[in-house]
Structure 1
Amino acid sequence: MRIDSHQHFWKYDPTKHAWIDDSMSVIQDDFFPSDLRDLLQQNRLDGTVAVQADQTEAETEFLLDLALKYDYVKAVVGWVDLQAENVAERLAHYAKNKKFVGVRHVVQEEPDPEFMLGANFQRGLTQLKDHGLTYDILIFPTQMKAALETIERHPEQPFVIDHIAKPYIKEGKIDEWIDYMRKMAAHENVMCKLSGMVTEADWTGWKYEDFVPYLDVVVEAFGVDRLMYGSDWPVCLLGGSYDKVKSLVDRYFEGYSQADQDKIYGDNAVRFYGIK
């Protein structure tokens, strides 16, 4: 099964989606599974993992409803308030749905670089494994230290790093990011998504070579068994079409064996998220 491990759906609302400012006018629109179907077929992909973009349980319900209606939405990474006192109850509620596979919090928007180390958030994370749920780590490089400590505290929790931790590709900054990526990759319970790279580059002027140093690092650190392709559609449209974004990963791995490519384009996501 070939899987896009990371994309979003939304009915655009300028208040709820205030992060989509006027510089992002190309995504100030509605994006539904019907808009993605042809793109998946053109790229020989069988399904997707829909990931939350709004910090409400209403968002989780919205995505699960789409997953029920569209079979190729294979799994949902939703939002549950991990800091809430009733987090165990809410996780148990959603875990009854077979397509609810994990949780994400938009940590990158939290002003405190040590947000993940908060006592309540850490307590919520401990509840995930009891329900067989994964956690998607969405951070900026300034938050990698806290993410690493979080990973060290939860050795049995399956984690995946979204968007290769959003390095400063446009500026060409890499040294500190490399150090933390290698340290996080040293933990076998951590995987990494090859996603969200073009939005960290020059949206209109990037070239393939801009990404190679970063891809070299994550491939060396995680190996083909712990990497998964993700489009980050429709956010990726800020930097290029679905096909153009996927071509970056295609080009990098074109010399790899079919077995290794199968892992990156689906097998690893199926295993990590427990996709049926």
Structure 2
Amino acid sequence: MLARKKSVLSALLLMLVSAFLFWGSGQVLGAGGPKGTDFHVFKNPPPASNFQMSTVDGRVVNLADYKGKVVLLNFWRKDCPYCDMEKNQFSAMLKSFNNGDIKVLCANLWDDPSWVRAHATRYAGPFTIVTRAGGRKSVVENVVNGRTMGYYVVNGSNEAIYEVKGFPSTYVIDKQGRVVATHMGLAKWSVPAVMRWLADLLGEQGTGTSVEPGSDLPEWLHHLLGGNPGRKISERIASFALGDTTD
């Protein structure tokens, strides 16, 4: 009975934050971004939260290690055909730039790390495949009435730091380590509008003409992305949900 109450409370807390993310302060994410695309760009980019990942050769890396570079933090899983298609887009874009200051981290935190490592050669490309580090659970599943509504990526302190509502999902991080945009679903990274926008972030053009106005980021979402310990609700979500979950 106690476990059931705990599970219900966890689900309710996850529902609450999910509702806040999209309706708590009006429209959180605007339609800004490269013209003619559905990227969501923030007017006041929050800092990207750090967390650990493991490369397929066993190296532990931190997201913070890539500060000073433009990073596309891409979340994917094996049962997502669009994720495979997007990797082709990443390859074409990276080869076009041929610039070490832009990195693509394809993070699979859902499937067994041994599967990710075994199948890494299938995804050979100029991007980096990473999985969860140290065998710890890195995501919290948001299940409401038997239906998965999305996931929260949690850090080593069990704080919810990124939301993934579908696959693939990508967070765009600038050289200052700020989340400047998000995209859910298959994105066409190699089309001219997106390439110009990324070039602006790299400082290769600096015109800014390829980007439409973005949207303000409410402080509560700023705290979520920043992994701020003051956001008690994110701590409670992570601790309740992780308490109900085993590897």
- TM-score, length of structure 2 as denominator length: 0.32
Which structure has the highest helix share of the two? 1
Which structure is higher in RCO with an 8 Å CA cutoff and minimum separation 6? 2
Which structure has the highest strand share of the two? 2
